[in-house]
Structure 1
Amino acid sequence: MDATTWLDDYARRMRRPERLEDLVRMADDRILAAVPELSADETFRHDLHASTRAHWRGLFAGLSREPFEPRPPAEAIDLARTIAGRGLDLAVLLASYRVGQRAVWQHITAYLDERIDDVALRSAVLVRFWDRTSLWLDTTVEALVGTYTREREQLQRGFLAIRLETVHDILDGVAVDVDAASNTLGYPLHHQHTAWVLWADDDLPAADVQRALEHTAAAVAAGIGAGGRLTVPSGARTLWCWSSTPGRAAAVIPDALSHARVHAATGTPAPGVAGFRRSHREALAAQTVAAAVPRPVTAYRDVELACLATGLGGSPAARELIRRELGPLAADDEPTVLLRGTLLRYLTLGGDARRAGERLSVHPNTVRYRVRRAEELLGRPVADRRAYIELALHILDAYGSVAAIPDRPG
């Protein structure tokens, strides 16, 4: 068997879906570990996975062909545009390809070590594989640097650059003049906001994506009854959106998603600049859940417990849960801490006042009294929101106070 025949057989085996996905995960895990900017949110991760998958497919399709004519996949171009559109440095794009190149080389050398004993054949395969992958990557990187540069130049020249910079400053917690920022964005930051993320399926033609996203964004905002709408692109197939609502937003987003290949993830309504950030952070967390279980709409309020349990949303989400669910019961004074501890013990023991009293060395009636006092502070029966209240109590019991919860981004 010669090198060409061996590589042809290798490529055919690697194109099988399960083998291909193993290679995508292997490469992307290394890239995300080395280039953390690309793990910032689901849009980055999605575009990276799509790009890596397309690279493997293209490489395997042409590995043994003559002539070998590498062409950058459309998905790789989308990733370069996303990186440029988010204002990340060109070094992020180049680093991802350096790490990816090492991952490819480590894969093929380990693979050959296991399967080829003939030193001459192994050497011939390595030389041919390296020549082809090097040409593939060099051609791709050269093309993507051009894509990145053009995208950045367009953004920097236009008003979109100013809007994007203002939005990213707000999301990064930079202090802004709210009136000036509202004028720049053409959007009232003083109001209450509902944030959502829209993204299009991979099989929706590129020429139709922006029209579908914008149409859906307009339909959602109209359904909510928004007093203002702000949209900014966050990737080739993703749109970040906010609507300004004078009151709580109605649950109408599913009805507004008329396009079957556009999906939405929504945050909860929240006021002011802090609410602009918080609702967006929740929408991104919901989008991450939706990536695992695709559905037309994923609302943060429906997946909040799953997000908190898996670390999505970070410390801000945990603090917001405590503020919203416990209210005055989150205070640090000794009587309130006593009520909280009793309520937590009561809930963890299945609502059994007798067993809770034994654990706390008090009479069951004392437990019942403290639970009633805690419910008065909550403003509702514990049973109405038991899972949420119990989780908030556990977090506060572990850290002692809201202030002690360590800062950790979502």
Structure 2
Amino acid sequence: MTHQWLRQLRPDPDLPSQDPAIPPAVVSAAAEVLGPEPVRWALQTADAMAAEVLEQVPEHGGGPAPLATLRRSTESTVLAALRLLLTESSGDGDHLPGEALESCREFARRGIRLDRVLRGVRLGHARLTQELASAVEQYVPAGERVTELRGITEELFTHADAHAGLIAESYIAERDRWRGSDEAARRATVDDLLAARPVDPEAANRRLRYDVTRTHLAAVLWCDRTEDPVPAAERLQHTATALARTLGTGHPLTIPATTDTAWLWLHAPDNLTGLTDRLRTGTDRAPGVRLALGPPAHGTAGMRRSHHGAREAERIARLAPGDWLTDYREVRLAALATADPEHARWFVHDLLGPLASDGARVCELRETLRVYLAEEHSLRAAASALHVARNTVTYRVKRAEELLPPSTAAGSTLELRLALEIARAVLGLKHTGLAEQRLAPG
């Protein structure tokens, strides 16, 4: 039985959406078979699945990169299930989608227990069955619903059972390979350092082939969604090597974190003046690679401190994409103030009122007021920083102040400045409940 009504699936317009985690080519290929609207429904459903799995199995979380891995797995799995239901192609059910397979391997490398991985599979299957049952009520004539629902349920159960078996096989194979690898030993040492567990510095130096007793600059590197044919791992390694070359401080320590993310430590140069500008202008980065830089810090404790700063900078950079390099020292206020994203959003809307609205014009007014206050109410300095005329700054500041709630206009300048800094980092993004997860320890 094929279920042609699946072509009528439409996403819920009242629910937030976000860019797919799977590659654009995979989305396009699925749209050719299913149609663009069913694909959008599938992606929306898959991201709801990921949110539920993350809530029930928090081991899958720990920051933006692990979340992206989970989303790639759920998105590719839902698309494969829809194709199977629509086309009755047995070939779609006897193997894992490439993105789900790589995610499974990553779960093994991260040490997520197999029973927790399979718990996520079961939760996802239950959510997909529930969503399709609701769709049957909406798109299938009343007299056919019982038969259609029975068929959907049976086929999904068979698919999920085979899927779980393939997941288990792939997980065990990767776990066994990983346990005996040098890469696993290096990752275990890094995990000990990041968890602040006692580590013998000399042993760590030998295993990591990196001096942990010096002053460090940590970074997180990741690849944006791009059609570049060069694998993400190669582009990340190229950029890591280029960073070390720019600093001239020797070979970096690079630890793969996910398929398209790497953790990096470099020895900080003696002269830190203008460091960020030197890296921005002098680094031969690979296409699509972005970087979050932590603060310089010394010794084994400094490796942990700088790494956590880099991951906070990564979180801010993923919330508000901009420059390819984000320095923690430039965004630490926003990082601190958005540690609780929902509370931060309430604070911004309470303080800014209509000035917190979406739109390029309001954003321009908001940024002008932010720079004007940061420049101690100097029209000349603000105009210079914004590259506009003083009269333009005067007009924009006046218009921005008119949009502020009366309580804010008469209130604390410190609170207003903080709200504007937070808004610069996070406003304009669609709240998904997924994109702003706190970082887990380590």
Determine which of 319, 323, 326 is the counterpart of 1:298: 326
Q: 1:301 to 1:257 in 2, by over 3 A?
A: farther
In the TM superposition, residue 114 of structure 1 has moved relative to its aligned partner by: 4.8
After the TM superposition, which of the residue ranges 181-190 and 297-306 deviates more from structure 2? 297-306
CA contact (8 A) 1:38 1:44 kept: yes
**Distance across 2 between alignment mates of 1:225 and 1:166:** 25
Structure 2 residue aligned with 1:245: 268
The equivalences for 1:221-370 within 5 A come to 221-247=244-270, 249=272, 250-251=275-276, 252-255=278-281, 256-295=283-322, 296-311=324-339
Q: Residue 373 of structure 1 aligns with which residue?
A: none
Alpha-carbon offset, residue 242 of structure 1: 0.4
1:136 aligned residue (125, 134, 159): 159
CA distances 1:24-59 after superposition (whole Å, capped 9, x unpaired)? 331111011011111112211011112222222222
Deviation, structure 1 residue 207 = 6.3
**Does 1:161 pair with 2:161?**
no
Equivalent residue for 1:397? none
Q: Does 1:92 align with 2:116?
A: yes
1:208-244 CA distance string (max 9 Å, x none): 2222211111111111222441111111222111001
CA distance in structure 2 between the aligned counterparts of 1:202 and 1:100, rounded to whole angstroms:
24
Displacement of 1:111 in angstroms is 3.3
Question: CA–CA distance in 1 between the matches of 2:331 and 2:98?
Answer: 33
CA distance in 2, matches of 1:264, 1:173: 24
- Give 3-state SS (helix, strand or coil) of 2:217's partner: strand
Provide the C-alpha distance between the structure 1 equivalents of 2:311 and 2:279, rounded to a whole number of angstroms.
16
Aligned to 2:85: 63
Say which of 102, 111, 118 aligns to 2:126: 102
Aligned residue identity for 1:31: V
In 2, Cα distance between equivalents of 1:289 and 1:205 = 25
How far off is 1:84 after superposition? 1.5
Letter in 1 for 2:332: E
- 1:51 is matched with 73
Deviations 1:79-107 (A, max 9, x none): 11221122222223212111111211222
Q: Which moved more, 1:279-288 or 1:239-248?
A: 239-248
1:190 is matched with: 213
Distance 1:107 1:262 in 2: 36
AA aligned opposite 2:280: P
* Rounded Cα–Cα distance in structure 2 between residues aligned with 1:175 and 1:129: 53
User: How much has 1:143 moved relative to structure 2?
Assistant: 2.2
Q: Tell me what 1:80 maps to.
A: 104
Unaligned 5+ segments in structure 2 are 11-33, 342-372, 378-415, 422-439
Q: In the aligned structure 1, how far is the partner of 2:340 from the partner of 2:186?
A: 27
1:27 maps to 49
Q: Is the 8 A contact 2:214 2:299 kept in 1?
A: yes
How far residue 271 of structure 1 moved from its aligned partner, in angstroms, is 0.8
Q: Structure 1 residues 219 and 13 mapped into 2: Cα distance closer, same or farther (>3 Å)? A: closer
Q: How far, CA to CA, are the matches of 2:120 and 2:196 in structure 1?
A: 27
Deviates more, 1:64-73 or 1:12-21: 12-21
Alignment partner, residue 202 of structure 2: 179
Return closer, same or farther for 1:21/1:290 CA change in 2, 3 Å cut-off.
Answer: farther
**Amino acid in the other structure paired with 1:90:** L
Query: What does residue 372 of structure 1 align with?
Result: none
Letter in 1 for 2:165: E
Secondary structure (helix, strand or coil) at the match of 2:249 reads: coil
User: Equivalent residue for 1:9?
Assistant: 8
- Is 1:226–1:244's contact at 8 Å kept on the other side of the alignment? yes
Distance change >3 Å, CA 48–CA 311, structure 1 → 2: same
TM-score, normalised relative to structure 1: 0.70
CA distance in 2, matches of 1:21, 1:303: 31
- Matched AA of 1:217: A
- Which residue type is aligned with residue 331 of structure 2? V
CA–CA distance in structure 2, aligned partners of residues 148 and 206 of structure 1? 27
Aligned CA distance change for structure 1 residues 248 and 278 (closer, same or farther; 3 Å): farther
Task: Give 1:210's match in structure 2, choosing from 202, 223, 233.
Answer: 233
Query: SS of the residue aligned with 1:247?
Result: coil
Secondary structure of 2:231's aligned partner: helix
Q: Distance in 1 between matches of 2:110 and 2:309?
A: 19
Change over 3 Å in CA distance of 1:225–1:38 after alignment to 2: same
8 Å contact 2:9–2:41 — kept in the other structure? no
CA spacing shift, 1:86–1:130, aligned 2, 3 Å: same
Contact 1:197/1:264 (8 A) holds in 2: yes
RCO higher in structure (CA 8 A, sep ≥6): 2
CA distance 1:205–1:61, change in 2 (3 Å): farther
| Alpha-carbon displacement from aligned partner over 1:114-157 (angstroms, at most 9, x marks no partner) | 55562x51122212222332233233322222222222222211
Structure 1 residue ranges without an equivalent (≥5): 314-346, 352-385, 392-407
**RMSD of aligned alpha carbons:** 3.1
Equivalent position amino acid for 1:289 in 2: I
The one-letter code of the counterpart of 1:103 is R
Question: Do the aligned partners of 2:219 and 2:265 also contact (CA within 8 Å) in 1?
Answer: yes
**Paired residues of 1:6 and 1:125 also in contact (CA < 8 A):** no
In 1, are the aligned partners of 2:219 and 2:264 still within 8 Å (CA)?
A: yes
% identical equivalent positions: 28
Give distance in 1, aligned partners of 2:62 and 2:290: 20
Counterpart CA distance in 1 for 2:227 and 2:177 is 24
